[in-house]
Amino acid sequence: MAKAFRPKARRPRGFEDRTASVIRAERALVSAASAVYERWGFEPLETPAFEYADALGKFLPDEERPNEGVFALQDDDEQWMALRYDLTAPLARFAAENFQDLVKPFRRYQFGEVWRNEKPGPGRFRQFVQCDADSVGAAGPAADAEMIAMAAEVMRAAGLKDGEFVIRVNDRRLLDGVLESLGQADDVRRMRVLRAIDKLDRLGLAGVEQLLGAGRKDESGDFTEGAGLDAGGVRTVLGFLEAAQAKGSRVDITQRLASIAAGSGVAGAEALAEIDALLTALGISESEAVFDASVVRGLGYYTGPVFETELLATPTYADGSPMQFGSVASGGRYDDLVARFTGQAVPATGFSFGVSRFAAALSALGRLDAADAAPLVIVIAADKARMAEYFAMAAELRAAGLRAEAFVGSGNMGKQLKYADRRGAAFAVIEGEEERARGEVQIKDLKLGAELAESIEDRDEWKAQKQQFAAPRDGFVRAILDALKRA
């Protein structure tokens, strides 16, 4: 007989399973950010996971891959659909589709899963959660300054303190002006230059220099084609970055950028000067937001001011070595994205962060505690013939706001108590034949038992502790709530 096929239990590469503690931490982060967005007058929106591939257009995260960086399939009418790779392109489609009915500026926030068909790596997944806020129909640096100020408030709401983060701000038009002066401002070369500079933190100047020129081979042997600038062009771009990255106040930097800006870069320098004045008026200090011309962002649709939020606090592994998180949030202006659908310019600006990455960083720092789940109570099934009674007891506990379950698996009382321990339950409720005859239940304080097990070695002292107590059947819920208050 043919052997039965048994698939191997394995996750697809680049995808992860998220457990309860991770999910709760991420929910706490999304809740904190959403509360900020609501305070600033933004409304929630939810768009579908799939968009038509032509709606995503050329603004894909990795245009040089044959599948263009997305997971796509054909619908039954042979139209190509793709899983969204971010929340901004779907917003542009929504804004264009509903343009006449929207109150503008249209201020929305959204959180949800996104998918990217890119090469996975450490901390780089093909599916993750993003949380965005955007303002569509808002022209001028005021809307960009508002986004930067709101990003700072999100950082604080997430638990970061002064000096633990900085928002680095730039305007893409500054570099556009440099490329125009070189005669190298075509879209393909421009994007390769931008992506090269976007890797400055990771690859350093030497790696960026290779990507500005012929290209670079990484440690795995993969080759990334460069922007193809000649030696003089590479020196010009690197020289601009070096001059623009010199230290100083926001006013000092804007003055220096204005002195070296050319072409469309002049408008970029003027925008940064206005953003500085607005951030100052909003109370955003020089330590919270700085200007840095190396910040360009890797996506193709940004058209003006861009910014990244860098984590300055450095969490460590158990051996004391530092964890590297770098940028945890970003945003910028994208005035051409809605225009792809409408044919008319529609200004827009936004802010986004990857929830999993940011939550992991905050968790490592101890800055954002997951919202604690309500205490769990396990009702032990001492007599399987009386499951209806155990279900009723669990229902009473849930009605009081506790998490509760009646044990429905197999095993004796010892195994059930071990199950309750492994679930991290606060209490186990036991009603056997003797307890039922007395009209009471036994309540086992599992948290106290665990603490005593770690601190007490003497058997007599252990027995003297009250980790288990009796309560009337009709008052056992109140007894548990009282015990929780005392804890």
pLDDT tens, residue by residue, 239-285: 777 766 677 889 988 888 888 787 888 999 999 999 999 999 999 99
Q: Closest Cα to residue 416, out of 395, 396, 442?
A: 442
Share of the chain above pLDDT 70, in %: 90
β-bridge partners, 124: 121
* DSSP for residue 471: E
How far apart are the C-alpha atoms of 133 and 117, rounded to whole Å? 24
Cβ partners under 8 Å of residue 75, min gap 6: 81
Average pLDDT, the chain: 86
Name the one residue in this structure whose structure tokens are 């860098």: 310
Round to whole Å and give the CA distance between 248 and 252. Answer: 6
The conformation of residue 121, written as its DSSP 8-state character, comes to: B
| Nearest alpha carbon to residue 259 among 250, 270, 248, 274 | 270
At 455 the pLDDT is 47
pLDDT value at residue 66: 38
Q: Which residue has the higher pLDDT, 297 or 288?
A: 288
Banded pLDDT at 471 (limits 50, 70, 90): very high
Query: Which one is the CATH code of 20-365: 3.40.50.1820, 3.30.930.10, 1.10.40.50, 3.30.40.230?
Result: 3.30.930.10
Kindly tell me the burial class for residue 176, based on how many C-beta atoms sit within 10 Å of its own C-beta (0-12, 13-18, 19 or more).
buried
More confident residue, 50 or 179: 50
222 or 98, greater pLDDT: 98
What would the two tokens of residue 23 be? 């999910």
Rounded Cα distance between 63 and 45, Å, is 28
| Per-residue pLDDT tens over the stretch 15-69 | 999 888 888 889 999 999 999 999 999 999 999 999 998 887 654 444 444 356 7
From CA 159, how far away is CA 174, in angstroms rounded? 34
Average pLDDT over residues 444-452: 73
- 157 in Cβ contact with 248 (< 8 Å): no
Bigger pLDDT: 227 vs 107: 107
Q: How many CA atoms, within 13 angstroms, populate the side-chain half-sphere of residue 452?
A: 17
* Whole-angstrom distance, CA of residue 190 vs CA of residue 176: 8
Average pLDDT value for residue range 194-200: 78
Q: Is residue 400 exposed (0-12), middle (13-18) or buried (19+ Cβ within 10 Å)?
A: middle
SS3 (DSSP) at 34: helix
Q: Where are the domains of the chain?
A: 20-365, 376-486
Fold of 376-486: Rossmann fold (3.40.50)
User: Which positions ≥6 away from 78 have C-beta within 8 Å?
Assistant: none
Give me 483's structure tokens. Answer: 């015990």
Both tokens assigned to 458: 């003497």
Torsional class of 366: left (φ above 0), alpha (ψ -120 to 50), beta (otherwise):
left
pTM for the whole thing?
0.80
